[in-house]
């Protein structure tokens, strides 16, 4: 006669089963508390995204596919995106590159909200200021 398959309840003795449920609940609560605490710390010190500084700013306008102007401390400043390179559409003395206008339109569709959160790199200004 074949032996029945092992069931989950057979893996633990009777005196341990009642503690297993509470142990799993305790682990879930500890994980949840850790997640909430780390999220609150990021919001309070403005260091989301790996310790980099961040701030919420209002969008002034989109310049092209990888640049926008935002209001920082009441002044309109250029913001260039890290790791994004799109065709030029506003370079002086140069024609609009292929898909330059499309990349600008896409950037505008992403920045339709009045406020955005900027996360700065280690250096807040690049070679162009």
pLDDT in tens, 41-87: 555 555 445 557 888 899 988 888 888 899 988 899 988 888 888 88
Is the pTM above the cut of 0.75?
Answer: no
CA distance 120 to 46: 11
CA distance 126 to 83: 13
Beta strands, E only, 5-114: 54-64, 67-72, 75-80
């Amino acid at each position: 006669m074949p032996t029945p398959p092992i069931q989950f309840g057979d893996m633990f003795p009777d005196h341990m089963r009642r503690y297993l449920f509470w142990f799993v609940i305790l682990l879930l609560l500890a994980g949840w508390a850790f997640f909430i605490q780390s999220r609150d710390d990021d919001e309070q010190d403005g260091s989301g995204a790996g310790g980099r500084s961040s701030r919420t700013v209002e969008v002034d306008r989109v310049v092209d596919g990888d640049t926008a102007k935002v209001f920082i401390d009441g002044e309109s400043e250029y913001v260039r995106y890290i790791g994004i390179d799109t065709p030029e559409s506003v370079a002086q003395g140069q024609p609009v590159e292929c898909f330059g206008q499309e990349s600008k339109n896409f950037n505008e569709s992403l920045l339709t909200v009045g406020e955005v959160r900027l996360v700065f790199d280690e250096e807040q200004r690049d070679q162009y200021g």
